[in-house]
Amino acid sequence: MKARKIHLLFVVISLLILACNSKENKIDATRKTIIDKNDEVEKPSTFDSPCELVSIEDIKNTFAVAEYPIETKDKILTHPTCMYKWEDGQVFSIKKIANQELKMESPSEVLIVMVKKANENKFNQSTKVYKQVQVISNVGDMAVWDSRMSQLTFLSNNYMFHVHVKVSNEEINNQKKAIEVSNLIIKKLK
Q: At 115, is the pLDDT very low, low, confident or very high (cuts 50, 70, 90)?
A: very high
Domain 50-189 adopts which CATH fold?
A: Protein Transport Mog1p; Chain A (3.40.1000)
- DSSP assignment of 74-86 equals EEESSSEEEEEEE
Q: Which residues pair with 106 in a beta bridge?
A: 91
pTM of the model: 0.75
pLDDT above 90: percentage of residues in the chain: 69
Model pLDDT for residues 122-172, shown as the tens digit of each residue:
999 999 999 999 999 999 999 999 999 999 999 999 999 999 999 999 999
Q: Let me know the angle formed at the C-alpha of 8 by 7 and 9, rounded to the nearest 5 degrees.
A: 90
Nearest to 108 by CA among 85, 130, 82: 85
Report the side by side order of strands in the sheet with 80-97: 71-76, 80-97, 100-116, 159-166, 151-156, 142-146, 133-135
Model pLDDT for residues 16-56, shown as the tens digit of each residue:
565 555 544 554 554 555 444 444 444 445 889 999 999 99
Q: Residue 186 and residue 157: Cα distance in Å, rounded? A: 8
Domain ranges, ordered by start, for the chain: 1-43, 50-189
pLDDT at 90 exceeding the cut of 70:
yes
Strands (E), 29-99: 71-76, 80-97
